Amino acid sequence: MKNIFPQGSAWINGEFVKLSEAKISILDWGFLRSDATYDVAHVWKGKFFQLDKHIDRFFKSTEKLRMPCKLKRNDLKKILAGCVKNANLDNAYVEMIQTRGMSPGFVRDPREATPHVMAFAVPFGWILKPEDFEKGLDIFLTNITRIPPSSVDPTIKNYHWMDLVTGMLDAYERGHQTAILVDENNNISEGPGFNIFSVDKSGISTPDHGVLEGITRQTVINLAKELGLEVDEKPIPIEMLKSSDELFATSTAGGVMPITKVSGKKIGTGKAGNITRQIHKLYWEKHTDPNWTLSVEDILK
Amino acid sequence: MKNIFPQGSAWINGEFVKLSEAKISILDWGFLRSDATYDVAHVWKGKFFQLDKHIDRFFKSTEKLRMPCKLKRNDLKKILAGCVKNANLDNAYVEMIQTRGMSPGFVRDPREATPHVMAFAVPFGWILKPEDFEKGLDIFLTNITRIPPSSVDPTIKNYHWMDLVTGMLDAYERGHQTAILVDENNNISEGPGFNIFSVDKSGISTPDHGVLEGITRQTVINLAKELGLEVDEKPIPIEMLKSSDELFATSTAGGVMPITKVSGKKIGTGKAGNITRQIHKLYWEKHTDPNWTLSVEDILK
């Protein structure tokens, strides 16, 4: 099995371990009920980007699940930085997880379980590789409904991904690169691990309902403001998506990524658009700004 | 950690192991995306009850997830029976699981992963203990929507339980024993691990939409027929639930269990009802019927 693991490192049960040794019991409710939350920060050239925002959201998610994280912020930072250092990665994808844990004797009551925190670092992953930026993403618009907020609170980052995975499989089988799901009102929601932005004559928009409150999504809203542009958070009907001048995806896994085709049909000119380009440029410039970053080495000092 | 494990035994990575040693990698998509399916059969006095029906559903679920189980039926039976024998249990809850597995190098494409089958046996668990049968269950009717079929196919038995867990926590905090969720049309759906049946002047009914195709649910429909009673699969509005003469829950974890209170309000007389009683009796009689059972020893011969 070992050779299938990426370069990486983990922290679990209070210890740093090899990635291949990071395992949870099959009786952990985090597995058997997907009763868990997580967050993913990234490290670029040795520096975490907006780490505190990810930790804020992670802590909030654990509170909403009525299992507030017991780790102190600085200890969590040291754990995450330790994973990156042990993995010997300059550019990393760093995931923190808290599961409900196990209930003694396998009783049904989640309140009996002791929550279980773990973390790991792996090489930075791209939904769209930088060398493919100009070509952009070719996405498949599915008719799958993203799990609605009336069922699962999307502001708790969670592993309920069967709808997203089904979308990915549908997309791959048709030769597309990834998928977009709709919401229960048949407006655009999100894709597997990313939010969506549309640009047209009315300006820049992003769905306001049933989506993860993405850190990169919020960053883009802020960066747009810096560029003198407003982002409207509002429903995006399917027709609006298809007739957009530009479309882009935002994610920790790749930043700001142009979407140039929807279900085979070109969006705008079929190339990365101007607004997308400006926001993308500013997004990566912030990766050297000390106000936005925190170096792995400094955390471990 | 060891002392918190129940009596039990597991099979994973092709081997029988102690329950405390049964672990999956934190990079398994079964954990990180809840990309997994499972089924639970039970053993009563050394005999599996309707084992083939659980295996049928499990195989179908793996097919629907586009990762058809590669184990042969008889091999899977020997694994499940082996878990029970190794755990030294006469009455057991036996879970089979297939996860998507890990993608080499942590690539996003689920098709790259090698599915991972595992199983475990633990002591038989009751949603309502036999000694509490007369008292029945006191459930909390939540306004949480069960994840709808437009998002996740409920006929694929899955671990997307955050809605159900939230319901359980809400119920426990209010002093109830478990919860019922509604569907997207605000009719009754199901609870954490069980289906619902209502009995009133119009007869016996059970929700037809957005619920797990429970094996015990189907068994009850068949047993009712044997008793000369018809079960209508149809929407059950909240008002109908509350004004039922009898209510009961069905689950592998306890069989047929009277629900005598909904959100504190008595159902019917507030005691186990007659229809519930008849079906419950017949259900347990079938546990000694060779047409419905298969002994652990015979499987292992």
Would you place residue A23 in the very low, low, confident or very high pLDDT band (cuts 50, 70, 90)?
very high
- Three-state DSSP class for B241? helix
Confidence at residue A1, expressed as pLDDT on a 0 to 100 scale: 46
Residue pair B189/B182 in contact (Cβ under 8 Å)? The answer is yes
CATH 3.40.47.10 fits A130-287, yes or no: no
Q: Which residues in chain B come in under a pLDDT of 70?
A: 1-3
Ramachandran angles phi, psi of A62, nearest 5°: -65, -35
Confidence at residue B232, expressed as pLDDT on a 0 to 100 scale: 98
Beta bridge partners of A80: none
Longest Cα–Cα distance in chain A: 60
User: Measured between alpha carbons, how far is B67 from B73 in angstroms, rounded to an integer?
Assistant: 16
Mean pLDDT value across residues A196-220: 96
Which residues 87-116 of B are in CB contact (within 8 Å) with A? 97, 100, 102-106, 108-111
**A144/B151 CB distance under 8 A:** yes
Structure tokens at B246: 């009898």
Return the closest-CA partner of residue B279 out of B236, B217, B232, B234.
B217
Residue pair B92/B42 in contact (Cβ under 8 Å)? The answer is yes
Name the packing angle between helices B51-64 and B215-226 (round to 10°). Answer: 140
Q: Which residues of A261-277 are buried (b: 16+ CB within 10 A; e: fewer)?
A: bbeeeebbeebbbebbb
A16, A35, A153: which to substitute to probe chain B, counting the most B Cβ within 10 Å? A35
Q: Is B30 on the interface with A (CB under 8 A)?
A: yes
Out of A22, A97, A109, closest to residue B172 by CB: A109
Residues 6+ away with beta carbon under 8 Å from B31:
A24, A30, A31, A36, A159, B24, B25, B99
- For β-strands A47-49 and B23-25, DSSP reports them as unpaired
CB atoms inside a 10 Å sphere around CB B234: 14
Q: What is the tens place of the pLDDT at every residue in A76-132?
A: 999 999 999 999 999 999 999 999 999 999 999 999 999 999 999 999 999 999 999
Q: State which residue of chain B sits closest to A3, comparing Cα positions.
A: B104
- For β-strands A203-206 and A195-200, DSSP reports them as antiparallel
Structure tokens at B77: 């039976």
Residues 6+ away with beta carbon under 8 Å from B158:
A162, B34, B36, B37, B38, B61, B152
Confidence at residue B3, expressed as pLDDT on a 0 to 100 scale: 67
Would you place residue A46 in the very low, low, confident or very high pLDDT band (cuts 50, 70, 90)?
very high
User: Measured between alpha carbons, how far is B116 from B28 in angstroms, rounded to an integer?
Assistant: 9
CATH 3.40.50.2000 fits B2-123, yes or no: no
Out of A29, A122, A169, closest to residue B110 by CB: A169
% of chain A residues with pLDDT over 70: 99
Confidence at residue A2, expressed as pLDDT on a 0 to 100 scale: 45
Mean pLDDT value across residues A10-15: 98
User: Measured between alpha carbons, how far is A233 from A29 in angstroms, rounded to an integer?
Assistant: 35
Q: State which residue of chain A sits closest to B99, comparing Cα positions.
A: A31
Q: What is the tens place of the pLDDT at every residue in A225-255?
A: 999 999 999 999 999 999 999 999 999 999 9
* DSSP label of B146: P
Query: In this predicted complex, what is the ipTM?
Result: 0.97
Q: What is the tens place of the pLDDT at every residue in A251-300?
A: 999 999 999 999 999 999 999 999 999 999 999 999 999 999 999 999 99
- Domain residue ranges of chain B, discontinuous segments joined by +: 2-123, 130-287
Residue pair B180/B188 in contact (Cβ under 8 Å)? The answer is yes
Q: What is the tens place of the pLDDT at every residue in B116-159?
A: 999 999 999 999 999 999 999 999 999 999 999 999 999 999 99
